[in-house]
Amino acid sequence: MSRDAVLGAIRRGLRRGPLPDDQKLALRARIDAHPRHLTPARSQVPRPAQIALFIANVEKEFGSVARVPTFADVPAAIADYLAASNLPAHFAMAPHPDLIDLEWALLQPRPGRAQPSDLVCLTQAFAGIAETGTLMLPAEPTRPTTLNLLGDTALVVLRASRVVGPYEDAWNWLRARKDPVTGFMPRNVMLVTGPSRSADIESTLELGAHGPRQLHIVLVDDDPTAIA
């Protein structure tokens, strides 16, 4: 069933009738030219400072970051982290071009969706947001959403060139790359700031409450302007 058919069925169920043409035009105009919200001054800094801010905010939220000079260095950085954390060398991995063609040596990645039995999952981030140390992870075939949720340890590869200052810049990127066929945004966009945690019970912080207990980012320095 198409999106219009679904929305039409909802409106009929609410007895609201068809959406008037002027409202359709107004909604389309808002989608096509979404207004930017205010952006905090702390994110409006030179590129090296944005990268430093991103890393500092990730670490403040109980995540960790390893910087590597090239994509060829990613497997070794991941192997080092797995060994230091006493984690297995096999893991679920996003079938993303940035990851598929790497030489994984003794590691054993399994491209595709995560399974409940996976302890470690590796994905590739669409963007990093320095404002809060947040990762933007849209749902798409090369970035299965299950990789963000099922593993106890979440590994993420992020290009330094994909780190922006405020949220608004990341949303602008996502809107600019709508699906070439449908024109729609991704069905799901996850914003991940540190590992999953909750303090709902007696105000005691518990990591891994609703997802990964650990978050480790491998940041690839592919942007010369981001290097101090």
Residue 149: inside a domain: yes
CB atoms within 10 A of CB 144: 23
Q: Are residues 29 and 62 in the same domain?
A: no
The pLDDT of 34-46, averaged and rounded, is 84
109 φ, ψ (degrees, to nearest 5): -75, 145
| Residue bearing the bigger pLDDT, 186 or 122 | 122
Q: Are residues 121 and 210 in the same domain?
A: yes
| Residue bearing the bigger pLDDT, 179 or 15 | 15
Q: Are residues 99 and 8 in the same domain?
A: no
Residue 38: inside a domain: no
Q: Are residues 27 and 115 in the same domain?
A: no
Q: Are residues 121 and 155 in the same domain?
A: yes
Q: Are residues 190 and 101 in the same domain?
A: yes
Q: Are residues 131 and 165 in the same domain?
A: yes
Q: Are residues 83 and 10 in the same domain?
A: no
Question: Contact, 158 vs 218, CB < 8 A?
Answer: yes
Q: Does the structure show a pLDDT above 80 at 207?
A: no
Determine what percent of the chain is predicted with pLDDT higher than 70.
88
pLDDT (tens digit, 9 = 90+) per residue, 96-147? 999 999 999 989 999 999 999 999 999 999 999 999 999 999 999 999 999 9
Q: Considering the entire predicted model, what is its pTM? A: 0.83
Residue 130: inside a domain: yes
Residue 195: inside a domain: yes
Written as one letter, the residue type at 139 is A
Domain total in the chain: 2
The confidence score (pLDDT) of residue 14 equals: 80
Q: Does the structure show a pLDDT above 70 at 182?
A: no
The pLDDT of 22-40, averaged and rounded, is 78
The confidence score (pLDDT) of residue 211 equals: 67
pLDDT (tens digit, 9 = 90+) per residue, 74-106? 999 999 999 999 999 999 999 999 999 999 998
Domain that includes residue 25, residue range: 1-33
Kindly give the residue spans of alpha helices, DSSP state H, lying in 161-213: 167-176
Domain containing residue 53: CATH number? 3.40.50.10420
Residue 39: inside a domain: no
5 φ, ψ (degrees, to nearest 5): -65, -40
Residue 98: inside a domain: yes
Residue among 167, 153, 157, 160 at smallest CA distance from 195: 153
